[in-house]
Structure 1
């Protein structure tokens, strides 16, 4: 019973929020930013596309030896690529925040 009351207590303030808060909640909806990693030597911006061996984390970016078919749109870029480290073989890895 306690768990149900706790859950109801967490949900009710959102359900009965004022008009201002509900507008704020609607503005937040949509795609969340994504962080992608790739080897610096493969990063290329070409005609509004961002090409690279995109991976979901730093470790996988070291093991993908060639550019993949995953292409990001240049307009989805939130931050510029930043070198965040290097693989065991010395290859620099960049990260990019995008939609």
Structure 2
């Protein structure tokens, strides 16, 4: 079966302003896709993921804020932080008496 689309394509000339707008939108979409790729990458360790996201945040703060508008939305990605356990045995230092009487 033949492809129903013709073999000829025509381009439409656009204004410089429209070109700049398309350039920005296309670039931002690609960068947003990169951010989603980092977020959803199962092969990255949590440490590497945090490192890459911090680097991304430094380079593209506006796009990062659009994906993570609040600290809560960022925290949901990383889940609960591990809590530091209290020591099971607390040794008290012995109180020394004053040597002078």
TM-score bracket for the superposition, by shorter chain length? 0.3 to 0.5
Higher helix share: 2
